[in-house]
Amino acid sequence: MAENPIGSNTRGGLNKFRNKTQSADMSQMVFGKIPPQARDLEEAVLGACMLEKDAVSAIGDFLKPECFYVEAHQLIFTAIMHLFNETQPIDILTVAEQLRKNGHLEMIGGAYYLTQLSNRVASAANIEYHGRIIQQKYLQRELIKASSDIIKDSYEETTDVFELLDRSERNLFQITDQNMRKNYADLSSLIEQAKKEIHAAAEHQDKLTGVASGFIALDRMTGGWQKSDLIIVAARPGMGKTSFVLSMAKNAALIGEKAVALFSLEMAAVQLTSRLISSEAELSLEKLRKGNLASHELQQMETKVRELSKAKIFIDDTPALSVFELRAKARRLKAQHNVELIIIDYLQLMSAGADMRGNREQEISTISRSLKAIAKELNIPVIALSQLSRSVETRGGNKRPMLSDLRESGAIEQDADMVVFIYRPEYYGILTDDNQQSTDGKAEIIIAKHRNGALDTVEVRFVKEFARFEDWGNTGFPPSPSGGFVPGVTPPSGGGNNPAGYTPLSNFTGGAPMSGGAGAGGGFTTFGSKMNDMPSGGGDTGGANIDYNIGDVEDPF
């Protein structure tokens, strides 16, 4: 007895082992309650595994040894899974032999207890259902344990509360990630799902199957930002990354009527809002910042902000946001507001948690993997801005960026479904292109990686004064039934009868001063607005209450 204090393969020995387990459990009681458990079902599952050879296949992908509450059951299931992984037969004799090799046979109560387990059930018909209940009980125990740790640490005066929040959230999500894996799907059901998506795409006249960016040529190439995709938008500082995604967010919210979440780790929410107002009202940021606005400009701003306020854009400017906080907030926004696009500005300012500090490359790899996981989990596109390394500056020639310029980690390139670069030649003092055309205001959107499509470059216009990107000119679309587009002129965003949902020229609000006046009053790019939204009166508005119509005017400029 001294050599085996727990007991031999007798009923008495097993009861001693069980009593010891129960005594250990008593120390884990919370608020006087025994942790959730299902001992009878654990016995039934183990017995079924030793009765039928296919039983383990039904539960092996979601049940783990630690899911069992009784320690003896954990040891038995470990032996069963070892035999299963080695493709060995599983029955009472082989399990007993494996337990003997592991030195655990006497600890679980001997072969007698294995015989008892096999007598608990007649078949393995309901083993998966029983296994799911065991998993649920395990999840409840893990949540209780994590919550107890949070309570204990919260009482410690030396605990850093923000580090505690980060660790607590990480532990809770770890429980979810490890136990809520998605099940497989058979090919026939996947084919049906794919066919539905193809038919749905065929019904779209604009051929947009994802979230529209608002740039016609770019949307024509991508079909919009697709669900579950991670898109990296990278450029050097000052190239216009934030302006580009703000333009896309505004277009997606107002043209596509999508809810957009923007996580800004660099700029404050009010600063981003000022940029949106500047872009929409066509008033320079400097004027807005100083409040140096004429009366007609104030009226202009009020008119355009009224339209902008309809956009379902949610801005979070929490600094040093961790991936765990981002995931929690993204889930909440998806549940409460059905957010269909997430934008992060920018990736290198995020953190992977306190445990990852010190190894920056590994931290960035963790962040990029987590962003891809969020995109897949919520089934929405995630756009993350990223910095480029200084190697671009030292390179000769036109200094166009390459995938190798992505900063701090090659994992960004691997995890991303699309990598998009923003390149403005005039940023580097290149004033003419290869065709000796001026590069003033010219920007290139370079698609350097596209997992599900072609690689190409799209030309857009960058309006410095308003920090806004817009279509460069004629996009190659045929004229719309309501009037068509003028070649070389950027149509504003908005509804209409045209291939990509953009405003036809009959609603065009201009991009240059109107004849008869000077200044910035020649209409402003809005969403579905008309020229008669212009403030009336004199000043430098260039006239008032004028509505262009393509059928009456051959060249409005």
Strand-pairing partners, residue 233, are 385, 420
Q: What average pLDDT does the segment 15-28 reach?
A: 44
Q: Is the pLDDT of residue 181 over 70?
A: no
State the pLDDT at residue 206. Answer: 63
**125-141: average pLDDT:** 90
Domain co-membership, 455 together with 494: no
Per-residue pLDDT of 267-297, as tens digits, reads: 888 888 888 888 888 887 778 887 778 888 8
Residue 109 has pLDDT above 80, yes or no: yes
Does residue 6 lie in a domain region?
no
450 and 503 together in one domain: no
Question: pLDDT confidence of 344, banded at 50, 70, 90?
Answer: very high
Residue 361 bears catalytic tag: no
Residue 486 amino acid letter: V
What is the average per-residue pLDDT within 140-149?
Answer: 89
Asked if residues 121 and 47 have their Cβ atoms less than 8 Å apart, the reply is: yes
Most confident of 107-116, 294-303, 314-323, 528-537: 107-116
241 and 118 within one domain: no
322's CB contacts (< 8 A; 6+ apart) are 166, 169, 350, 351, 352, 353
The stretch 83-88 carries a mean pLDDT of 85
Looking at the structure, tell me whether residues 103 and 165 fall in a common domain: yes
pLDDT confidence bin for 77, thresholds 50/70/90: very high
Cis, bond preceding 346 (omega within 30 deg of 0):
yes
CA distances from 165 to 123, 212, 356, 392 (A): 47, 36, 15, 39
The verdict on residue 204 lying in a domain is no
Q: What is the pLDDT of residue 360?
A: 75
Residue 514 is assigned to a structural domain of this protein:
yes
- Say if 212 falls within a structural domain: no
Q: What is the pTM of this model?
A: 0.60
Q: Residue 262: which H helix or E strand, with range?
A: strand 260-264
List of residues 6+ apart from 17 with CB closer than 8 A:
6, 7, 72, 107, 108, 109
135-139, 403-407, 424-428 — which one is most confidently predicted on average? Answer: 135-139
Domain of residue 453, CATH code:
3.40.50.300
If asked whether residues 380 and 252 sit together in one domain, one would say yes
How high is the pLDDT of residue 355? 60
Alpha helices in 180-240 (DSSP H): 187-203, 216-222
- pLDDT, average across residues 153-158: 86
Region of poorest pLDDT, from 124-138, 452-466, 528-542: 528-542
Considering only residues 99 and 405, tell me which one the structure prediction assigns the higher pLDDT. Answer: 99
Active-site residue, selected from the candidate residues 52, 266, 307, 426:
266
The pLDDT of residue 254 is 85
Whether pLDDT at 83 is above 50: yes
Q: For the chain, give the percent of residues with pLDDT over 90.
A: 12
Rounded to an integer, what distance in angstroms lies between the CA atom of residue 255 and that of residue 374?
25
For residue 401 the two structure tokens come to 């960026």
Residues 462 and 479 placed together within one structural domain of the fold = no
| Same domain as 161, residue 57 | yes
Q: Is the pLDDT score of 499 beyond 50?
A: no
Mean pLDDT of 368-375: 88
pLDDT of amino acid 203: 72
Query: Could you tell me if residue 148 is inside a domain?
Result: yes
- 480 and 415 in one domain? no
**Tens of pLDDT, residues 388-403:** 888 777 777 778 888 8
- Rounded CA-CA distance 363/386 in Å is 14
- Which two tokens mark 260? 């957009």
- Domain interval for residue 543: 473-557
What per-residue confidence (pLDDT) applies to 134?
Answer: 92
Is the residue at 211 inside a domain? no
Q: Are residues 431 and 372 in the same domain?
A: yes
Q: Are residues 442 and 485 in the same domain?
A: no
Confidence of residue 18 (pLDDT cuts 50, 70, 90): very low
Residue pLDDT, tens place only, 250-260: 888 888 888 99
Residue, of 105 and 475, whose pLDDT is higher: 105
Mean pLDDT of the chain: 75
**Residue 483: which pLDDT band, with cuts at 50, 70 and 90?**
very low
Per-residue model confidence as pLDDT tens digits over 198-245: 777 777 666 678 888 888 888 888 888 888 899 999 888 888 888 888
Q: Could you tell me the CATH number of the domain that includes residue 28?
A: 1.10.860.10
Query: What is the per-residue pLDDT for 548?
Result: 32
Specify the pLDDT at position 177: 66
Same domain, 425 and 361: yes
Helix, strand, or coil (residue 11): helix
**Strand duo 341-345 + 260-264: pairing:** parallel
Residue 206 maps to a domain: no
pLDDT of 204 reads: 66
Residue 494 has pLDDT above 60, yes or no: no
Tell me if 187 is assigned to some domain: no
Which of 54-63, 108-117, 287-296, 479-488 shows the lowest mean pLDDT across its residues? Answer: 479-488
Q: What six digits make up the tokens of 356?
A: 């990852």
Domain total in the chain: 3
Are 26 and 170 found together in one domain?
Answer: yes
pLDDT higher at 507 or 332: 332
